[in-house]
Structure 1
Amino acid sequence: MAFSAPRVTREQVKSDVRRRLARLKSKRWHVLQAAAAAGAAWFIAASLLGHVQPVFAPIAAVVSLGTSYGQRLRRVTEVTIGVALGVFLGDIVVQVIGEGAWQMTLVVAMAMAVGIFISSGQVFRNQAAVQSIFVMGLLPTPGAAFTRWTDALIGGAVALVAASIVPAAPLRRPGEQAAVVARKIASLLRAAGQVMLDADAVHGLKVLADARATDPLIRELQDASDEGMSVLAVSPFRFRHRSHVHRMAELVEPLDRALRSTRVLVRRAAVSAYRGDIVPESYYQLAFGLADAVDVIESELAAGLGPDGLSEEARSVLLAVGEHSAEVERTDSLNAEVILVQIRSIIVDLLGVTGMGQFEATDALPPLPSRRTA
């Protein structure tokens, strides 16, 4: 039986190309920074210090910087010392006993053993072993002994300086990604309200599938927040952004809760449509009103938080929806009741985005009216 390869559509190809271009765009600073560090390390070692073919200087610089800001100072330190150690041991072995298979075995064992003794980091010992192999196998020039390991130190020093010079983009990215999450919450709230209004189970399932695909948004927000915090750790030039980045980091958890609560609301709206339950008009109007309130939060996040975080307007519009939720009618439909309670839960989560604590936000909502009895 013959199997045919899955057909790739033009739209999929375009989407893949856009994703790759976006990835390249997000890493363009890392590329330029690593390239500049490599050139600077070579210039210092070759032109200023007169080293012949100082290949380990740019190697140490590029490997140390990597392509992310997380744990950058530790990585620069580990890689620099690891590279210098491997090159140094390789130089010694070549100087004393020459090159060959058993010398290769010896130098790798020595490099890894010393690396394990000095540090538990795998990157450290791997770099020590790899660079010792490089010296033994590709650059067996004893005349260059004791200059190649200093080249590695030069590359690491250049990487350390370069690591402290970072653009402002990683500091803006948490706010931009938080706005994306808020925008998605508003979109799902409107879609859930429309499902309740139309009682359309098919549309409800489509919206539910969309809601269930939102986990990457929170992961990207967490990554952006971690990257922003890492920039603060490595760059003394961004100290003035510290309070802003810390405030953005504090929004990850309440936005995560709000998005999760919104997914539950979407699911309940889809179930209600499938079961044919009657959802009061005031309930889906609440969903629409809450979406409008989230629009205010989204616009402020996209514009950048002020010195005091979100404005009073963002909190007041949420509280207004919360007060309205206590004035709607109650029903005997379990699904409809869960929808109402879930809307209030989302309001509490979003009040957390404005800086209110969990208990404070819960107490800020008026109690629900008693359910009508038959």
Structure 2
Amino acid sequence: MVWRESRGAYERLRTYLIIAVQAGAAVGLSWFIARDVLHNPQPLFAPAAAIGTIAAALGNRIRRAAELIAGVIVGVLIGQLILQIIGTGPVQTALIVAFAISSAALIHGSGAVMVHAGSTALLLGTLSAEHSHLAVARTVNGLIGGTTAIAVALLIIPANPVRVVNRSAGPTLDVFARSLTAAAQALEQRDVRQAEGASQRLVAAEEERNKTVEMVAAAAEIAVLSPWRWRRLGILRRYQHASQHLQYAYSNSREMSHWVVSTLRQREPVPASLPASIEHLSQAVRLLHRDFLAGREPDLARARAQQAIEEVNQASAEDIGFCGKVLASRLRLAISEVLQASGVLKAEANRQAGLTADAS
């Protein structure tokens, strides 16, 4: 258990170390520009904006920088307008913040836009008239911080998108594949407890699986926007396509694992080809990830998936119970999604898996 937790901490550090490095570089550079080059008052907001843009997420950097700047601008405009009419004071500050956040919501601003609009309006409301120019400086520094963060993340120290995917998706798919193998072994050995454990691990991995989808999207964004990473764009687009289908394969496998438990509890017959099919699906998942990162055509993954189809067909032709039939149908759906992830068209993947054309 301790080794597993240590390994997980190490993998998280490897994944997010690049963010820490980028944040440090963006903070230093934005502070230098704001304080030493432009001599802005309140230069601290420039590195703060840089951190907010870098550390909020590995992807969507441009959107987050735009949200930050938009929020600050809305806060300044609304704050200055209301200050000219009602002056400063506690009540006036409350009104300024309320109007700023309402205005951000009115233009369909996100939560981040509302936060920055409200905090900038708060700054204006607490400043005397002769210091209200500091709010304008905050806008400039926000622009400096956001722009610097984007430059660092995409031009100066861009992450390697393939490495980001490997470090994020690799452990998640490994848990997915190992859980499938455990389910196959449990079915073969008729071990209900082991089947329950495999099912629980698949359910517990849902959050990590969702994070992996976000990281794949973030890596694709880097490959699109960073000139130094354009040569990785083909691999990332293929993997992004695959990631969507692997998500569906994961969901169907999670449901399938419940029916593995039910099949064993009901003591239904289990043809030898049924656990073999699940194990070959597990191998297909592993091979697919490996082939994509290597830039190879996933022929081996497709071959394993097709072998899994032959075996589930053999099992379905034998005497299996109700739970076994539902298990087999979920298994077919998962195999179809893995085939689609490998580049097979949906209609063909469903046909091979023994599904209708509009299935999955």
What TM-score do the two structures reach when normalised by structure 1?
0.74
1:4 paired residue number: none
1:66/1:141 CA distance change after superposition, 3 Å? farther
- Over aligned residue pairs, what C-alpha RMSD do you find? 4.0
Match status 1:74 vs 2:60: no
Q: Please say which of residues 71-80 and 99-108 is displaced more in the overlay.
A: 99-108
Alpha carbons 1:190, 1:287 under 8 Å: kept: yes
**Which position in structure 2 is the counterpart of 1:27?**
16
1:249 to 223, 240, 244: 240
Letter in 2 for 1:347: I
Worse-superposed segment, 87-96 or 33-42:
87-96
Give 1:134-283 correspondences, 5 Å limit. 134=123, 137=126, 142=131, 149-165=139-155, 167-232=158-223, 234-283=225-274
Deviation at 1:135, TM superposition (A): 5.2
User: Which one-letter code corresponds to 1:55 in the other structure?
Assistant: L
2:303 maps to which residue? 316
Cα distance in 2 between the residues matched to 1:198 and 1:366:
27
CA contact (8 A) 1:85 1:149 kept: no
Contact 1:90–1:136, Cα closer than 8 Å, also in 2: yes
Residue 332 of structure 1 corresponds to 319
CA deviation after TM superposition for structure 1 residue 244, in Å:
1.7
Q: Which moved more, 1:148-157 or 1:348-357?
A: 148-157
Contact 1:81 1:153 in 2 (8 A): no
C-alpha separation in 2, matches of 1:16 and 1:280? 37
Q: Which has the larger radius of gyration?
A: 1
Residues of 1 paired with 2:344 and 2:41: CA distance? Answer: 62
**1:203-246, Cα deviation, whole Å (9 max, x unpaired):** 33333323333322431231122212332454343333222221
The number of residues matched between the two structures is 352
Aligned match for 2:116, one of 118, 124, 127 = 127
Quickly say closer, same or farther: Cα 1:88–1:147, change in 2 above 3 A.
farther
User: How big is each residue's C-alpha offset from its partner over 1:329-370, in whole Å with a ceiling of 9 and x where there is no partner?
Assistant: 833332444445544443323212211123202333589xxx
Aligned to 2:358: none
Overall identity of the aligned pairs, in %: 25
Q: Contact (CA 8 Å) 2:161, 2:223: kept in 1 or not?
A: no
- Residue of 305, 327, 335 corresponding to 1:347: 335
- String of CA shifts for 1:23-45, please: whole Å, max 9, x gaps: 56543333333333233223223
Equivalent position amino acid for 1:362 in 2: N
- Between 1:27-36 and 1:83-92, the stretch displaced more is 83-92
Specify the alignment match of 1:370 in structure 2. none
Q: Give the C-alpha shift of residue 160 in structure 1.
A: 4.1
Q: Kindly indicate whether the alpha-carbon contact (under 8 Å) linking 2:14 and 2:167 is maintained by their aligned counterparts in 1.
A: no
Q: Does 1:285 align with 2:272?
A: no
Match of 1:46 among 11, 26, 35: 35
Contact 2:23/2:50 (<8 A) preserved: yes
* Structure 2 residue 52 is matched with structure 1 residue 63: yes
SS class of match (1:164): helix
**Cα offset, 1:73, TM superposition:** 1.6
Counterparts of 1:119 and 1:331, CA distance in 2: 58
Where do 5+ consecutive residues of structure 2 fail to align? 356-360
Which shifted more, 130-139 or 195-204? 130-139
Quick check: 170-179 or 312-321, which moved more?
A: 170-179
CA–CA separation in structure 1 for the residues paired with 2:265 and 2:325: 16
Does the aligned pair in 2 maintain the 1:69–1:230 contact within 8 Å? no
Contact 2:180–2:198 (8 Å) recurs in 1: no
User: Does 2:352 match 1:364?
Assistant: yes
Paired letter, 2:231? R
Which AA in structure 2 matches 1:164?
Answer: L
Give the TM-score of the pair, scaled to structure 2. 0.76
Contact 1:84 1:150 in 2 (8 A): no
- CA contact 2:100–2:117 (8 Å) conserved in 1: yes
Is the 1:174–1:228 Cα contact (8 Å) retained in structure 2? yes
C-alpha change, 1:26 and 1:142, in structure 2 (3 Å) is same
| Counterpart code for 1:278 | P
Shift in CA distance, 253/314, structure 1 to aligned 2, threshold 3 Å: same
Gaps of 5+ in 1: 1-10, 368-374
Shift of residue 256, structure 1, vs aligned partner: 2.2
